[in-house]
Amino acid sequence: MSEVVVKVENICFQYDKRGNEVIHDVSFQVQKGEWVSVIGDNGSGKSTIAKLLVGLVQHTRGQIYINQIKMDEHTIWSIRQHIGMVWQNPDNQFIGTTVEDDVAFSLENLNMSYAEMKDRVNHSLQLVGISELSRMDPSLLSGGQKQKVALAGVLALHPQLIILDEAFVMLDPKSRNSIIRILQELKMKEKLTIISITHDMAEAASADRIIQLRTGKVNFDGAPKDYFDNVCDWEVPVADQLRRLLITKGKELPRNFMTEAELVKWFGN
């Protein structure tokens, strides 16, 4: 039986009491183990939805439930323990002076032994492929490396739900593919639930569901195939669709393809 992890009911939000409402009557649900891509033009409200889901800003109307617990000022702290959030700009997330300290920092309030903490830190650094950076100062890393550190910090928490706000934009395509594959594996094995705000249509094509926002409202909520067949007004390159399909199957795409026709042929084999 499916289990609802996120339930958003008719929420509205405005940043400034006298300003415009930027989220209007938004409702959706996310099931345990689902990967939902949230897409939409700049300013459509995607990041605001992420902030609302982790209680950084409070909805002015409607309700949000995480794991059937209604979000309010009393429940937000315990709700946040189950959510890992990776923002677009990882610089805002660093606290430690080394990568391993930084990843460990997220675990310090969880009351676990030093040995377990060390284990979790090493494992999550290894998962995202940055073990060799463990003694580095996070502020000296490249944008892509910083995004990996931020993700390692979140994975070390063993969250049930991860919210990614353009969390892969600074990664090179190879790293992006491998991180997506790792998250797909966690989704399959641990039933990790993922809400990913993205501009990457290829990533959205491989999600279980797409929610498209338009001027603060849900314009589409459904299967990627429906979105690309019936709503999207431009073609997602076939190569991108196939690349993602391969990622979900745990395969690497050979790098030397020149044309989509060659790619389709190779995929057929």
Which stretches of the chain bind ligand ADP, using CB under 6 A? 15, 22, 40, 42-48
CA-based torsion, 128, 171, 85, 243: positive or negative: negative
Beta carbon nearer to ligand ADP, 87 or 94: 87
Beta carbon nearer to ligand ADP, 83 or 247: 83
| Residue carrying the six token digits 């992890």 | 5
Beta carbon nearer to ligand ADP, 21 or 185: 21
Angle at alpha carbon of residue 128, lines to 127 and 129, rounded to 5°? 90
Beta carbon nearer to ligand ADP, 15 or 266: 15
* Shortest reach from residue 16's CB to ligand ADP, in Å: 6
Please name which of 162, 158, 138, 141 lies closest in space to residue 86, comparing C-alpha atoms: 162
* Shortest reach from residue 23's CB to ligand ADP, in Å: 8
* Shortest reach from residue 217's CB to ligand ADP, in Å: 12
For residue 190, count other CB atoms closer than 10 A to its CB: 12
* Shortest reach from residue 42's CB to ligand ADP, in Å: 4
* Shortest reach from residue 157's CB to ligand ADP, in Å: 24
Distance CA 240, CA 255 (A): 13
| Residue carrying the six token digits 């409202």 | 217
Decide: helix, strand or coil at residue 262: helix
Beta carbon nearer to ligand ADP, 157 or 195: 195
* Shortest reach from residue 2's CB to ligand ADP, in Å: 28
Beta carbon nearer to ligand ADP, 20 or 81: 20
As a whole number of Å, the end-to-end CA separation of the chain is 36
Q: What is the token pair recorded at 193?
A: 């639930």
β-pair partners for 11: 26
Decide: helix, strand or coil at residue 51: helix
Q: What is the token pair recorded at 3?
A: 């289990």
